[in-house]
Structure 1
């Protein structure tokens, strides 16, 4: 691609845009409207409108607002399919008393932007907006048309955001075959001249389960061989302590192979977690993808010390690797026993795509242009993103929000954590990588 006649700085606005987005409190409290999803969507719409990009707002319910824009300026390849670039605008709650910096002020300190959403995921939202605005002002088209989506409700499962858009307005994404979004493209330093950039190609599926035990209610002083609390507690303990067998998916196998090559060791997949411990904090995320998992998260029963309740309930956050749903639910059923049952409260499918093709080649090339020590590798993510919604339309989804991170930063611990922050240099790096990516993707 020839050099543009008008210079542009794709990273010029990214820090301030990230700060502005953090200052809009978009906390997602669940079904009820949060304080700022619509405000954030309107803010993004104004930013796009300033550079001549029209967008449309969609509300699944009052205040639960998502934005979609089609950017296909003169100069794009008219025969290329649109690339979907998506980011969510909502964030999880933050208790200001727990933070050393205010969570909704976007303060800059110690070389970082601090605040709820700094890494999940207003950092990537800011990168996208900074790059798109710089290109639009300079008249520099991306290689292919771009479909932009900034969604509500991702932090509560996407039901009022991306999933609602897919179910009610699938035509907005006609022609899209590939997408990039959050939780991928961040660096893991192996040595001074080698950093692995983890590109998400797969996500575990999610099954949030309600456990229910029914028994015989009665006085707390009597013997009771049909106590719902006892039965539930035993089932919860069995699930919480279950040792799930390893299930290595293609994405996980490719990541383990890259780690083996980087450390120049022979890696036995059956003992991989011992090696993964050398990766530092990232080992927690990767270790959670070696198998299905099920964690008890809530318990509820009774209302008085001397009353045995007739029902007790618990919540389980169960996650399954691609292809592992049936095994997970069959195992849960066995662990429950005869007197406890489950109901599925929320379920999202596992997603997976191959780490290959021109889009992946562009990721590697653009990372290497900014970091000669970069090596892009695929990985399976333990959590979930809006990719689960777009996949329903047959779109291949990748997590690619590029960040070159300091080696000692506990990046994984910042997701939904206290004192969430992102280095300003990482934001600027990501904007430059993303700018190159739009020229090649």
Structure 2
């Protein structure tokens, strides 16, 4: 059996275990995937136990929410380590909108069209499986007396889809020494940009936007629903708050990541200048299918997502609130966010109370680290003519915890030339989520190359 066959077999098991995280503490059941991964490494763990060449740890803050850590010890204590952070939970499915069994892990098609269907195949079991397979290959060498130069660690971590409270966040806080956080690789990266002149560019995710969730409260005069005349209505007030928030556009990013992303597309000087200074909504259409992503990584984004007011149909409520999913750019603080919200609300701002919910700063790793250079060299091995473009993720990953502990973290996989960043983004949390087998194979080979290049 080839390494690719082993990887595909593991991916099928991980998908079929259906470790669905619905954001409640007792969901997930990642213990099933932790068991599968321990079985996958069983021979290497047994062979390396006495020498310490290969070790396993299982940690869980709550029954069933298990993270597993496999460490292959390097022979040179001064060599750079490498850690694969792969999560084992997946988001829920709306089964009636799937045309295949979301947990069947069925493969269809042949040649370039061959693919595997299932929740998590793209986010991110299709990366976790090759991470584990490459680590096991190195572990086999280690127990045979040929350890890597630097230590290689694989982590199958729980609860990523709920921002890591029972997974990486908990590990970083309660067990920071359980793994090496200095050089980490996780999701996603490795897809291609549709450069205007037809040349190639491959993205590597170097950071992610922060979170600055808010609940905006308003109050008004209560009363009987039969007599609304002359009253200030809480529902009308919160509706006006929502309208002003939606119509407000913050200034475009001045961060080099945004300017570098724009430059990678090789637009005309006029379009590039507009996108970097004061873009209009229509200017983003230059990015095609990536317009929504481009807008997200170029601005502070504020999305109204939850609205609450009243409880009885015949009562005028005395209060209402609006919840906002806010994603910040590097360098933006909570005070900056509140100032922007006040600008959006204008003369209504003094009548609105801001409540801060989850707040985390944007996190970015440098592009001059040894690991980033190794990733760039790996991309060049497979796509010699491609530019390597560092990008910001609009969402969150477990890599932010590595960065907070002083490490660097990059989202890296590798996709075929025909797979754009828009194609990959379209599969995240989607109905009929699927991964092309050519991408699984290429990611596996890229991880093998990166490990050889970085830890020996």
Structure 1 residue 340, shift from structure 2 partner: 2.1
Say which structure is richer in helix.
2
**Pairing of 1:413-428 with structure 2 (within 5 A):** 413-428=426-441
Aligned runs of 1:284-299 on 2, under 5 Å? 284-299=292-307
Asked if residue 68 in structure 1 is aligned to residue 69 in structure 2, the reply is: yes
Structure 2: how far apart are the matches of 1:432 and 1:241? 46
| Counterpart check, 1:219 vs 2:220 | no
TM-score normalised by structure 1 residue count: 0.90
Q: Which runs of 5+ in 1 are unaligned?
A: 1-7
Residue pairs, 1:405-416, within 5 angstroms: 406-407=418-419, 410-416=423-429
User: 1: distance between equivalents of 2:149 and 2:198?
Assistant: 31
| CA deviation map 1:231-289 (0-9, x unaligned) | 211111111221121013122222223223xx676721126676764443233222211
Question: How far is the alpha carbon of 1:421 from its aligned partner?
Answer: 1.0
Q: Which segments of 5 or more consecutive residues in structure 2 lack a partner in the other structure?
A: 46-53
Structure 2 counterpart of 1:89: 88
RMSD of equivalent CA atoms? 2.4
Q: Which aligned pairs between 1:7-406 and structure 2 lie closer than 5 A?
A: 10-52=3-45, 53-73=54-74, 76-110=75-109, 111-138=114-141, 141-173=147-179, 176-190=181-195, 194-222=199-227, 223=229, 225-260=231-266, 267-268=272-273, 269-270=276-277, 277-325=285-333, 326-334=335-343, 335=345, 337-404=349-416, 406=418
Counterpart-to-counterpart distance in 2, 1:251 and 1:377: 9
**Per-residue Cα deviation, 1:138-158 (whole angstroms, up to 9, x for no partner):** 556544211222211111111
> Shift in Å at residue 412 of structure 1?
1.0
Q: Distance in 2 between matches of 1:42 and 1:371?
A: 36
Question: What's the CA shift for 1:136?
Answer: 2.9
1:346 and 1:229 map into 2 onto residues whose CA distance is 25
Map Cα deviations across residues 365-387 of structure 1 (whole Å, 9 max, x no partner): 22222233433210111111111
Post-superposition offset of 1:209: 1.6
The 1:137–1:56 alpha-carbon spacing in structure 2 relative to 1, beyond 3 Å, is same
Q: Deviation of residue 50 (structure 1)?
A: 2.9
Cα offsets for 1:107-133 (capped at 9, x unmatched):
112311111111111111011012122
Q: CA deviation at 1:405?
A: 5.5
Equivalent pair of 2:332/2:361 in contact (CA under 8 Å): no
Partner of residue 49, structure 2:
none
Deviates more, 1:157-166 or 1:9-18: 9-18
TM-score (structure 2 length as normaliser): 0.87
Task: State the distance in 2 between where 1:192 and 1:321 align.
Answer: 29
2-side partners of 1:362 and 1:380: how far apart?
Answer: 19
Q: Is this contact kept in 1: 2:28–2:159, CA < 8 A?
A: no
CA–CA distance in structure 1, aligned partners of residues 196 and 148 of structure 2? 34
Partner Cα separation in structure 1 for residue 28 and residue 78 of structure 2: 41
